[in-house]
Amino acid sequence: MTAVHTDNYPESYYFSTLKYNHKYPVLESELTADVCIIGGGFTGVATAIELAERGYSVILLEAFKIGWGASGRNGGQLIRGIGQNLEGFRKAIGQTGIDAITQMGFEATQIVIDRIKKYNIDCDLTMGYCDLATKPKHLADLHADYQKLQKNNYPFDTRLLTEKEVREQVVDSSLYLGGFEDMGSGHLHPLNLCTGEAKAAADLGVLIFENSEVSEIIHGDVVTVKTAKGQVKAKTLVLAGNAYLDDLVPEISAKVLPAGSYIIATEPLNEELVKTLMPGNHAVCDQKIDLDYFRLSADKRLLFGGMCNYSGRDPKDIKAALYPKMLKVFPQLAGINIDFQWGGKIGIGANRLPQLGRIKPNVLYAQAFSGHGVNVTHMAAKLLAESISGESDRIKYFALVEHMSFPGGKYLRAPLLALGMMYHKLIDAIK
């Protein structure tokens, strides 16, 4: 990655409704801190808050703008849970680890809710989420999820919904056979959350620098981190560049596939349409491998996302690719204008478990949150801070799991995975 100086974000609905438009300076001097953080997305910013709240001096370096990566461009769906199939890690982490990560999957969402409240962050938080089934197999999966949550004492209201209930209460579409509603999950404006959290961090004394891409790390008891115009010396370094980290730390970048995901935002919908289209104002996802995810914004646009792209190449025309998918769900939107279209890179790991750990005793990292980063980044930030302060070693459940590097190296890993995913999408479509 070679960053160019920018005072703006890529075009998106979120940028057009940005509330915390603070410009942080470029690093142009030599500074010291207890902890230096590379990356100004949710992971970096939330870690900065966690550490500053514990009394550490923190410097955060972002290559572009706060929230410039996936954190400021995502679907804004705040969904409980961590990882996809924790049973698969039993050998590495045992029942204790499975139970601990399950509970952290609930804690993660609560951290976000509490953070918004504590720092009074204006980011349209709305509770209510629903998983949608398009096949009988999905219904069975949702039923199993429901029972698992009951067994684990999930503290929020959940309900299995029939086809009729989905249509009347969640999504007015003939596509869905049923759903699973979770009132402990919901949706929000991610760029306003991330930049609002950055403001909270700065108020706590964190020094934030934008347009300050880190180009070199010199390891030692004190780590030196260099940018084009300055440097930071810190006792501890946190790597939070995720899918955008690229060549800076190849040993962890190789374990993440930067997959593209894309969103279109309609013009604001009229009140009648809003009442029928998504009457409960939920965030929703279907269960396909090539999933659709959508919700209403605070100003009543439909934000429709999907089309996870593993090839490493963005589609030429995002609207042309997503509009037909949106019409399949809502034929009643034919002719509606699309005001915004954008995409970003999701960091995906091979086994879908977030990757957290240390590459040196004083260098920690967190990445690969797949499509669940809005909540899990915040849990990861807490675990990093707990580990740095010696408060707990809960991070160990993640560090104990081995993560494979994607085969094919920097240039071939995306095309190779794209081939594999085409196969899985095909099987998913015919099953």
Under the rule (CB under 6 A), what is the footprint of ligand FAD? 1, 38-44, 61-64, 68-71, 73-77, 79, 213-214, 240-245, 248, 261, 263, 293, 305, 343-346, 369, 371-375, 377
- d(C-alpha 375, C-alpha 430), whole Å: 32
Closest distance to ligand FAD from the beta carbon of 276 (Å) = 23
The torsion angles phi and psi of 96, rounded to 5 degrees, stand at -60, -45
Q: Sign (positive/negative) of CA torsion 233, 234, 237, 243?
A: negative
Of 214 and 364, CB closest to ligand FAD:
214
**Residue 172, number of CB atoms within 10 A of its CB:** 17
Outline where DSSP puts E strands in 69-167.
77-78, 126-133, 158-162
Least gap, CB of 51 to ligand FAD (angstroms): 15
Is 123 or 374 the residue whose CB approaches ligand FAD more closely? 374
Contact 135, 177 (CB under 8 A): yes
Q: In terms of CB distance, is 89 or 369 closer to ligand FAD?
A: 369
The least CB distance from residue 415 to ligand FAD, in Å, is 19
Work out how close the CB of 59 gets to ligand FAD at its nearest, in angstroms, rounded to a whole number.
12
Q: Which is nearer to ligand FAD, 10 or 168 (CB)?
A: 10
CB 176 within 8 A of CB 185: no
Contact 271, 384 (CB under 8 A): no
Min CB(366)–ligand FAD separation in Å: 7
Is residue 174 within 8 Å of residue 202, measured between CB atoms?
A: no
Closer to ligand FAD by CB, 89 or 293: give it: 293
Q: Least distance to ligand FAD from the beta carbon of 2, Å?
A: 10
Cβ proximity to ligand FAD, 73 vs 255, nearer residue = 73
Q: For residue 29, how many other CB atoms are within 10 A of its CB?
A: 10
Which residue minimizes CB distance to ligand FAD?
Answer: 373
Q: Which two tokens stand for residue 384?
A: 């990093």
Are the C-beta atoms of residues 212 and 30 closer than 8 Å to each other? no
